[in-house]
């Protein structure tokens, strides 16, 4: 076992202890709702998405419901999440394909999910991992990217390459949980502008790559 893999195991162990309740913070009651919420979460906080979907998910309960309204009406419903025109188009396009190609059910493979409008690997991994418990890969968002880079787990910038690096280091049984641990760490401690290294549980094993000393 490489030293980096051993250190990754220790990182996971410490973060599990620090964040025992780490989980997906998007609110959803079905795989389809999680798909919609994840599409809405692009360039938007989970908190704002949850505020919007609290009303949205009462109005729209199935893929068919999203196709019964004009795109302009859906745009108004999701406007607070930003990029609402593209997101409305993606949600309706995905809903149409779910009905036409998958009998109204959310597909449970990466390959099939990637055929849906607005779905890239991040969204597919979120749905597969959190709705179905399928560890198909590691979700890479801005927090995961930043924290994994600072921890020296990757030198890559492209999400797909970061994911590939992480799947080598992280045991598959932790692929679903690991992003939630890094997201919690990124929000609470390893923040973008001013990481709180002095109170970080990983301080003794962190190379602090990309951390400016004056910001500590």
pLDDT in tens, the chain (216 residues): 788 899 999 999 999 999 999 999 999 999 999 999 999 999 999 999 999 999 999 999 999 999 999 999 999 999 999 999 999 999 999 999 999 999 999 999 999 999 999 999 999 999 999 999 999 999 999 999 999 999 999 999 999 999 999 999 999 999 999 999 999 999 999 999 999 999 999 999 999 887 765 443
102 Cβ contact list (under 8 Å, min separation 6)? 112
Alpha helices in the chain (DSSP H): 3-18, 31-40, 46-59, 63-67, 71-78, 84-102, 110-113, 121-132, 142-150, 159-169, 177-188
In whole angstroms, what is the distance from residue 122 CA to residue 126 CA? 6
Residue 216: predicted pLDDT: 35
What's 190's DSSP letter?
S
Query: In the structure encoding, which two tokens stand for residue 161, read together?
Result: 């390459």
Residue 42: predicted pLDDT: 95
Which residues are annotated as catalytic? 122, 141
| Integer CA distances (angstroms), 95 to 58, 131, 183, in order | 17, 17, 29
How many Cβ atoms sit within 10 Å of the Cβ of residue 104?
13
pTM: 0.94
Residue 210: predicted pLDDT: 79
Contact present, 124 and 160 (Cβ < 8 Å): no
In whole angstroms, what is the distance from residue 161 CA to residue 206 CA? 21
In whole angstroms, what is the distance from residue 174 CA to residue 28 CA? 22
Contact present, 193 and 152 (Cβ < 8 Å): no
Query: What would you report as the CA-atom Rg of the chain, rounded to the nearest whole angstrom?
Result: 18
Contact present, 178 and 165 (Cβ < 8 Å): no
In whole angstroms, what is the distance from residue 8 CA to residue 178 CA? 10
182 Cβ contact list (under 8 Å, min separation 6)? 15, 143, 144, 147, 148
Domains and CATH numbers, the chain: 3-22+138-215 (1.10.1670.10), 31-132 (1.10.340.30)
Contact present, 184 and 22 (Cβ < 8 Å): yes
Residue 51: predicted pLDDT: 98
Residue 57: predicted pLDDT: 98
């Amino acid at each position: 076992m490489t030293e980096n893999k051993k250190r990754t195991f220790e990182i996971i162990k410490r973060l599990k202890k620090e964040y025992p309740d780490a989980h997906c913070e998007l609110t959803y009651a079905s795989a389809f709702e999680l798909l919609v919420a994840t599409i809405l979460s692009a360039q938007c906080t989970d908190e704002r998405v949850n505020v919007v979907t609290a009303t949205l998910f009462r109005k729209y309960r199935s893929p068919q419901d999203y196709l019964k309204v004009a795109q302009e009406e859906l745009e108004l419903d999701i406007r607070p999440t930003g990029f609402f025109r593209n997101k409305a188009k993606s949600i309706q396009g995905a809903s149409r394909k779910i009905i036409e190609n998958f009998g109204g059910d959310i597909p449970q493979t990466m390959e099939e999910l990637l055929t849906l409008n607005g779905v890239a690997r991040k969204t597919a991994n979120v749905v597969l991992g959190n709705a179905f418990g399928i560890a198909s890969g590691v979700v890479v968002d801005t927090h995961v990217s930043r924290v994994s880079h600072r921890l020296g787990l990757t030198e890559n910038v492209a999400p797909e390459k970061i994911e590939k690096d992480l799947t080598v280091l992280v045991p598959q049984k932790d692929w679903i949980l690991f992003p939630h641990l890094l997201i919690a760490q990124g929000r609470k401690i390893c923040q973008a502008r001013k990481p709180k290294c002095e109170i970080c549980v990983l301080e003794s094993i962190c190379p602090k790559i990309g951390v400016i000393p004056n910001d500590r």
